[in-house]
Structure 1
């Protein structure tokens, strides 16, 4: 036993000393690395493809956590997406390094251990592998930016302000949209290059009430600013706000997306509006394709920020909404007073909800067909310090009269939603499981 323990310790020491090499791994090498990681750490990782690129390359996602293969109630889902623009390659390198860091330090590093025990982390190192393979090693220009069809993937998502929900989607975009339907992501970031700044929604506007002095303000603007500041101030330089190549400076290293420049069909707005997932766009290097000698320094600058940002998934409140029969209330509308979202936040197929909120008092209203509207005021503490948002469950009572759930805008009930509809076949396993548990409980108590 002593010899085994000594060998294990020596192997961990070798892994920490001789980690993943700082260089640009091509798509074949990246795939092999992800498979090796999963084989080495099968208990805390799960590897799967969410689809393919135009040229047929797999879009690999590695999931890390204490229970990587399935969602557990109360454990929030987090994701990082890299290399959306094929020639912005630092994100691809940093996300592979992050995977190496998290797996090699689990159970030995307290922060890493608590992060993976309290959340489920999904990492897509390359959303545009075709673009990467065709990229030129250049800091400024666009060779390799687009996918094989010549489309900018960050202009191809449905846009709530442009009304382009029926537009044709690229394979890589459709894969991400389908991915969002399978997981109830709470927090996310997509990593880019060409600037050093944390950008937050909205990226677009149609001149409505959200547009204020050139700033397109979302209902959760305060939370987005907190998230952006968390990354910026955890980064070694971003908070200094210095622009790149003559671009303007950014106060505190953050910016509202629209205020920087309007963008139609962006991924972060789609995540927020349709998938109930708060997402930032993180610009992490002035040079899009820097020399490999600069990669270790870029990793050290971003590492604490990447970790701190994951921890922000524990902001606010979470819980389960159950109906009058004790069953999960699927697609119940959960609204926070003073935050009128374009698409109301709803419970998922487990009856769960997650709401990222800063510390304070909030009035939450839950609406569900056939049940009395429930309104409660709760006090929300700062959750990241304890690696858990406040847990607050809602128990609904059946209404004596015919009542309907909050009417959703037509655009929120299309196939583009990030939350499965209540009549979806994907709900059946969860409902069956709940009924089985209730039956067993009744038998045990009888």
Structure 2
């Protein structure tokens, strides 16, 4: 931060601080922190800068900036959202876009943009520009022009293969028709490799903050990728459908169709075969592209209430600094629109019908009854510690059932419409304790 001052005879007058404008460049790890602190200085009432519980292998903090009407606190009926960039250290566009997004949210909020003000006031937004600052440094020191150098962390581990493989547990439960269909982390009995500090920090973050929706930003292609990332049969390429396939397709398209090029069918493709995902709306099922086990995307969905997709932002993993601002213009509307998707579906609070106290860990089960269907969505979510829940759904008619051990379940019917930039339908539940059996 610089200060404006005027030198007078024997006197220095220090006036208001001049907060530096955002600069388009590849920000190093120290500059990354400075950008976030500068944003906080400009918007102290709606932001908080913090770090995860773990540092990188080289000891660098994993920085996050939060936007909220009440920074530092979870508020019932306010969904929690996150963006993570630079998970692969040599894929750097997401890192710079997220730094600019933080600056933009603050700038527009202060400038009176009513849409951004509404988004921030209705949502608790967390932005982590870099999950792999060590890999970024390695890639940058090597010139930033190698397709692999810097991808992994400083222990040579790919962080997007380092999460516990919950897909295997889910697929086994499906096959046997037994067991849970959500919150599966406690069932992990072995790991394929040691959990890295960066991964451990994000896992704790996911477990502590009740995220509803998120995306992780990568590079190397141009497509929005959705679960499942891992194939059921072990095949390298097969469509691996999740219970929320329809909702995930909507979420992916909510980004791709708002991006300037991602869904454009006549654009150039990426990769060795030059395939253009724009021919299929700029989206792909993860395993249909190629199967990944231990990925962060599926871990979010199967360990928590969070629906996550993966955004591949362009063919060039380490684009020249001169292209960063044009890339921001291509992604800006999509980044904002995707955050709004944390408000689709239904939300509410589950309470004890007699005392009114919130009930945590109540199960929320959904049946799609649109057009006479009776399709159970076999992925339940749970209420969080203040009794609130958030269930992302596309438009239609649903039966929503809330239940908890020791209580009689309650079922309600609801029509989901999902109006742009409006809150989700509110659907509260009161559960009454079952009579004691002597």
TM-score bracket for the superposition, by shorter chain length = 0.7 to 0.9
In 1, the alpha carbon distance for the partners of 2:145 and 2:168 equals 31
Give the aligned CA root-mean-square deviation in angstroms: 2.0
Residue 336, structure 1, aligned to residue 366, structure 2 = yes
Instruction: Tell whether the 8 Å contact from 2:231 to 2:238 is kept in structure 1 after alignment.
Output: no
- Distance in 1, matches of 2:87 and 2:150, equals 10
1:119 partnered with 2:123: yes
| Structure 2 CA distance for partners of 1:165 and 1:127, relative to 1, 3 Å | farther
TM-score by length of 1: 0.82
Q: Cα offset for 1:350?
A: 0.8
> How many residue pairs align between the two structures?
384
Counterpart CA distance in 1 for 2:80 and 2:92 is 25
Aligned-residue offset at 1:385: 3.3
Contact 1:316 1:357 in 2 (8 A): yes
**Matched residue of 1:143: which SS?**
coil
Residue of structure 1 aligned with 2:269, choices 236, 240, 243 = 243
Matched, 1:202 2:237: no
> 2:298 matched to which residue of 1?
269
Aligned twin of 2:159: 153
Q: Secondary structure at the match of 1:371?
A: coil
Give matches, 1:284-433, under 5 Å. 284-324=313-353, 325-337=355-367, 338-341=375-378, 344-386=380-422, 388-401=423-436
Gaps of 5+ in 1: 1-10, 403-446
Q: Structure 2 unaligned segments of length 5 or more: list them.
A: 1-15, 170-187, 368-374
> Is residue 244–residue 377 contact of structure 2 (8 Å, CA) maintained in 1?
no
Counterpart-to-counterpart distance in 1, 2:299 and 2:433: 34
**Does residue 110 of the first structure (1) align with residue 110 of the second (2)?**
no
After TM superposition, give the deviation of residue 243 of structure 1 in Å. Answer: 2.1
User: In structure 2, what is the Cα distance between the partners aligned to 1:41 and 1:169?
Assistant: 36
Distance in 2 of aligned mates of 1:248 and 1:138? 24
1:24 maps to which residue? 26
C-alpha spacing 1:35/1:379, structure 2 compared with 1 (3 Å): same
Q: CA deviation at 1:137?
A: 3.7
Q: Which residue of 2 aligns with 1:218?
A: 242
Give 1:155 deviation, angstroms. 0.3
Within 1, Cα distance between the matches of 2:276 and 2:376?
30
| CA–CA separation in structure 1 for the residues paired with 2:429 and 2:389 | 10
Give the secondary structure class of the aligned counterpart of 2:207. Answer: helix
Distance in 2, Cα, partners of 1:70 & 1:247: 46
Residues 167 and 302 in structure 2, CA contact (< 8 A), matched pair in contact too? no
Normalized per residue, the structure richer in helix is 1
Q: Identify if the C-alpha distance between structure 1 residues 91 and 174 changes in structure 2 by more than 3 Å, giving closer, same or farther.
A: same
Bigger proportion of residues as strand: 2
1:157-209 CA-partner distances (Å, limit 9, x unpaired)? 1122335653231100000000012211001000000000000000013339x
Match of 1:48 in 2: 50
SS in 1 for 2:281: helix
Provide, for residues 37-71 of structure 1, a one-character-per-residue CA deviation record: whole Å limited to 9, x for no partner: 22332101001101211111000110012112211
